[in-house]
Amino acid sequence: MSDSVSGISHQPVLYQKVLEFLQPRSGGHYVDGTLGLGGHAHGILQASSPDGRLLGLDVDPQALQLAAQRLAEFGERASLVRGSYARLAEHLAAAGPPSSEAKGWPPVDGILLDLGASSLQFDRAERGFSFQQEGPLDMRFDPQETLTAEQIVNEWSEEDLAEVLFRYGEERKSRKVARAIVKARPLKTTSELAGVVVRALGGRRSGLHPATRSFQALRIAVNRELDSLEAVLPQAVAALSPGGHLAVISFHSLEDRAVKVFMRRESRDCICPPEQPTCTCGHVATVKELTRKPVRPGEQEEQANPRARSARLRVAERL
């Protein structure tokens, strides 16, 4: 699917695969925890016609506005809420159609998390996500949050900066980059920061722009993305009805690892250390992994949509 709302072209990643795994059906209840431009949500609502329902969450009011336009045709079947998927349980408890007094959703049939930034966020220079466009060092998904990339870049210690670049960007030369950033302070724009990183690292390595890892690291730190992911996964499993599916699309190895480790642990009846002869943990499997290996986009999708290249989809079924 590639269409446009307000002139923004949009290709939801792994669209068909997501729908195949979620198997939306009439009467079902679904959650899109990362609504973005509403591309996947549109597919879920269409496939669950005439009366499937969707709760869509996003922390970005611009995204919600565009998603609301895209999903207007589904009326009250779509409930769109400004809020973080990290508080999924609360949002489900509060959800209900506007015309109803009753609040709270039943266990849901499918949950989608399509992590990271949307094309809208990357393409709007003023959001500060892109090193290819001149913009302020912002990078917040949620404009109500106070921490920005500018604060991290200009105010955090060299040591903390290096830690962020290493941990969230897997930048091997994190100390070198951090030193260069601190020396170049104050930095105000994405281009200034990208220039400093390029000068610190030299030319392109393995086809990747030298600033890619540093920008990814800052975005993850600004939005505390891994904390939100860790928070949502158990809530998502708890919210699913038996047979319901949790689908997570990640775009870098840190996210994918967190999802894999979670799904693997939750699919085991015992999580005691392997050297322990008898089980003392009492852990009971809550899910079955439907994807031992992550699902990747095909060549055609990768060519049509460069953003899909790093996408990995993992799906688990609630037992």
Ligand X SMILES: C[S@@+](CC[C@H](N)C(=O)[O-])C[C@H]1O[C@@H](n2cnc3c(N)ncnc32)[C@H](O)[C@@H]1O
The residues binding ligand X (CB under 6 A) are 10, 12, 33-34, 36-40, 57-60, 63, 84-86, 114, 116-118, 141, 223, 228
Q: How far is the CB of 77 from ligand X (least distance, A)?
A: 17
Among 57, 44, 118, 51, CA closest to 85: 57
Which is closer to ligand X, CB of 138 or CB of 158?
138
Which is closer to ligand X, CB of 84 or CB of 190?
84
Q: How far is the CB of 191 from ligand X (least distance, A)?
A: 23
Q: How far is the CB of 54 from ligand X (least distance, A)?
A: 12
Which is closer to ligand X, CB of 248 or CB of 263?
248
Q: How far is the CB of 189 from ligand X (least distance, A)?
A: 22
Which is closer to ligand X, CB of 28 or CB of 39?
39
Which is closer to ligand X, CB of 33 or CB of 210?
33
**DSSP states along the chain:** --EEETTEEE--TTHHHHHHHH---TT-EEEES--TTSHHHHHHHHHTTTT-EEEEEES-HHHHHHHHHHHGGGGGGEEEEES-GGGHHHHHHH---TT-S---PPPEEEEEEE-S--HHHHH-GGG---TTS--BS---SSTT----HHHHHHHS-HHHHHHHHHHHH--TTHHHHHHHHHHH----BHHHHHHHHHHHH-S-BTTB-TTHHHHHHHHHHHHTHHHHHHHHHHHHHHHEEEEEEEEEEESSHHHHHHHHHHHHHHT-S--S-TT-SS--S-----EEES-SS-B---HHHHHH-GGGGG-EEEEEEE-
Q: How far is the CB of 201 from ligand X (least distance, A)?
A: 27
Residue nearest to ligand X (CB): 36
Which is closer to ligand X, CB of 42 or CB of 173?
42
Q: How far is the CB of 9 from ligand X (least distance, A)?
A: 11
Residues 91 and 57: beta-carbon distance below 8 Å? yes
Q: How far is the CB of 241 from ligand X (least distance, A)?
A: 22
Which is closer to ligand X, CB of 167 or CB of 224?
224
